Structure 1
Amino acid sequence: MKLLGISGTILGSKTAVLVKQVLDEVEKLRANVQIEFLDLKNYELQFCDGRPTSHYNDDTQEVIKKVSEADLYLIGSPIFNGSIPAPLKNVFDLVSPEVFRHKVMGFVANGGTYQHYLVIENQLKPIAGYLRCYVAPSYVYAHSQHFNTNNEIIDTDLLNRIQKLATELIIMHRGIEKTKRKGGIK
């Protein structure tokens, strides 16, 4: 099984820190999971305009391929002005919805106000629903105060929630795969 953690921004580093922390917790579970980290900051993505995948630049094709090959997802997003950033939305637009169908998706997000957690509920979860993903019941929202000046997580409650999310992702994926093998999900 392949877990793809996506840092869905080209700005800042807190989102990547959150995603990596969850991926590290999955690694500690020794769950026999291949883990890959995709930081959109390292790619020159072209905007989705409906052309065939082969007509996009190499970076865009590589991101589409990585997302398409994953079995489950951890999506990280900063919250800017009460919404997800364009690069993350662009990834959802570039990849065919069928790629995500019946796969587990979990979320981490960070922002400067405590109310921004609502973006997970009101934007990210509905996108996952449209894509027919199974959404992990827990998600992690981090406020700027949960990090020190080096962007290291310093809040123990946040670290506990990260650990819980990592466990849920694996448990959900295994349960769904077991059901698929028995012919219950097609």
Structure 2
Amino acid sequence: MKLLGVSGTIIGAKTSIVVQKVLEEAKKYQPDLEVELLDLREYEVQFCDGRNPSDYNDDTKKVLEIIHSADFYIIGTPIFQGSLSGPLKNLFDLINPKDLRNKIMGFIATGGTYQHYLVIENQLKPIAGFFRAFVAPGYVYVNNDHFNRDNEIIDTDVLNRITSLASEVVFMQKALKSTENQLTSVF
């Protein structure tokens, strides 16, 4: 099983730090789990304009292949102007919906105010619904106050939510695979 963490921003480090922490916790629950962090800061993903995916630059094609190869996801975004980041929205626009259909997603978000957690409920979960993905019931919202000056997460409640999200997505993925295997053996 491959869990892909997506840090959906091209600036800042906090989102990537939280996504990485969830991946580390998931690995504790499932030691043989393959984890990978897709940090959009490391790629030059082109703007989605409707062309054939094979016509995009190499970075864009590589990112789409990484998305396609994963079994389940932790997707993170900073909140800008009360919304998900532009780079993450662009990535969603580029993804073939078949690549996320019936896959598990967990969400994290980082932001400067305590009200921005609503972006997960009001924007990210509906996007997952469009893709027909299964969404972990819990999520993690991390405010700037939850980090110290070295960008380390210092809030105990946030750390507990990170652990809970990791266990939820691993549990859901194992249950989904078990159900798929049972159905395959019957039919």
The residue type equivalent to 1:23 in the other structure is L
Q: What is the Cα deviation at residue 117 of structure 1? A: 0.1
Q: Name 1:73's counterpart in structure 2.
A: 73
Provide, for residues 92-135 of structure 1, a one-character-per-residue CA deviation record: whole Å limited to 9, x for no partner: 11110011010000001010000000000000000001100000
Q: What is the Cα deviation at residue 52 of structure 1? A: 1.2
Q: What is the Cα deviation at residue 175 of structure 1? A: 0.5
Any conservation in 1 of the 2:30–2:170 contact (CA below 8 Å)? no
Q: Name 1:60's counterpart in structure 2.
A: 60
Any conservation in 1 of the 2:48–2:90 contact (CA below 8 Å)? yes
Matches within 5 A, 1:1-186: 1-183=1-183
CA distance in 1, matches of 2:105, 2:3: 10
- Give SS of 2:183's match: coil
CA distance in 1, matches of 2:49, 2:79: 24
The residue type equivalent to 1:45 in the other structure is V
CA distance in 2, matches of 1:109, 1:22: 12
CA distance in 2, matches of 1:130, 1:180: 21
Structure 2 unaligned blocks of 5 or more: none
- Give SS of 2:109's match: strand
| Aligned-CA RMSD value | 0.9
Q: What is the Cα deviation at residue 30 of structure 1? A: 3.2
Provide, for residues 37-77 of structure 1, a one-character-per-residue CA deviation record: whole Å limited to 9, x for no partner: 00000100101111111110000000000001100000000
The residue type equivalent to 1:78 in the other structure is P
- Give SS of 2:115's match: helix
Q: What is the Cα deviation at residue 31 of structure 1? A: 4.0
CA distance in 1, matches of 2:178, 2:32: 15
Runs of 4+ displaced beyond 3 Å = none
Aligned length: 184
Once structures 1 and 2 are overlaid, which stretch shifts more, 50-59 or 119-128? Answer: 50-59
